[in-house]
Structure 1
């Protein structure tokens, strides 16, 4: 049977990020997608202004209909969550649906800064949510938030490894830490408790300019590979190579930076994924 996944994330009407990235990418990997919006935005938030509708008041009834109709999914993939209430809703969703795999992208901050919408209570809620996950995909800032460790620009690989071990002891056995800069390279840390060599760093070339939405592309490819029960490292390499190709195309086509990463021309690369 065709595998399926429920995606919980915000929807931006313009600018490639969140659901407008996840849907085509995961679908192109041969996976049926169900969608639960957390917020509906006119455009992604890197633009000078935007409008936003908080979808929280509608999520419980929305999911109640899914449960009543008997919808089934092999996996769950969560992205941006804007409130403690949404985290409680997702935890109930986990109880109500029998997900084989749960992928949590803990969208909490970047470049050492926590997003304005994240209160201490919301951070604690995300720390609890990740304990239910099969795989989590934090960036370096989010890894520090999850472990309550101070962020600094020269975090060592040993520190990253120790933070991954700390999180894995609480639930998620597979962790990918994204966006680790090292000179002209950009790397990812892989922690896989089921591997003979649990911790590994993988570096690739840094393609400038960096663009919003690449984290969503990355996490979506990891989610697709997880649903197909494929090796974590091969999924990370595939995501890295795909993003580099898309970034290069974005520059060639003069795509404005805020419009995100131009992936449409390359979806065929994921068809056999």
Structure 2
């Protein structure tokens, strides 16, 4: 293993955004909860089972494109909605409408509370850059570029494969490996020479499905065992640990 905590064969690092580089995962979880709880209350009345921002978030929406997250969570409750269209208003009870409602809430919350990059992640990415490894951000979020800019870390990455790029290229989201594979290709490396850094179970599965050279699970919520079970080669609570630093 190198001083970066990676096999010596790794030439590129592919980083998820929310929960790995920035603390916006909690913002996303809160926006999903507000969206789904309002929908469930309308549909089922005051006795509805609320969206759990830890368990439901990790199992059904974390790391997925918005529409996939809506389908995944509602499917877990036995609910199917019309697909709708991408320009559905947020108050419309369709897959796209609920997704647009969640996105509007995320943008509002980010504007209200700002975006913070994890200091340990910033130190790690800078160390990766200094070591001469290639660097990409891989995120299902259509707001990825704005979040990177708000956190002040956009210049640390050479390639960005996000929700906008995935839609343009018709790339399926995590747990499919296609977005990570696209990032590795854009950096001029194959999957065996690339490491994936993810906090989502769907991201672990994408790393395993793509046969990447190394998969690092970032455990921010106490799910280390689940990350390993879904494909992590190593699990840390902060990327600085890979540099030999304490979290």
The TM tier, using the shorter chain, reads 0.3 to 0.5
- Bigger RCO of structures 1 and 2 (CA < 8 A, at least 6 apart): 2
TM-score (norm 1): 0.31
**Greater share of residues in strand:** 1
